[in-house]
Amino acid sequence: METKKYYDYCVHKIKGTLDDKTPLAELEKHLNLQGKDGYRLISAIPQVYEGTTESTILIFESEYEDKI
């Protein structure tokens, strides 16, 4: 029997930089919610516009195996 791996991804956008309190609280909320669903944070990408960070994109990944 062969085992095959599958990946699911979930993407969230947080407004503001992660240096501020409000975006950090939102990040913590997303980490807790996604963690409960089996996701892990794989990337946090700042979205820069005209020299300032307007938002951060969070990419979460979940991995599972299925026997074929």
Q: What is the pLDDT of residues 39-64, one digit of tens each?
A: 999 998 888 877 777 888 999 999 98
Position 51 scores a pLDDT of: 72
Class of domain 3-67: alpha beta
Residues 6+ apart with CB under 8 A from 33: none
Whole-model pTM: value is: 0.77
Scanning the structure block, which residue is given the tokens 């892990």?
Answer: 40
Averaged over 17-37, what is the pLDDT? Answer: 83
Position 6 scores a pLDDT of: 92
Residue 29 CA: distances (Å) to CA of 16, 22, 59: 15, 11, 14
Specify the DSSP class assigned to residue 51. Answer: T
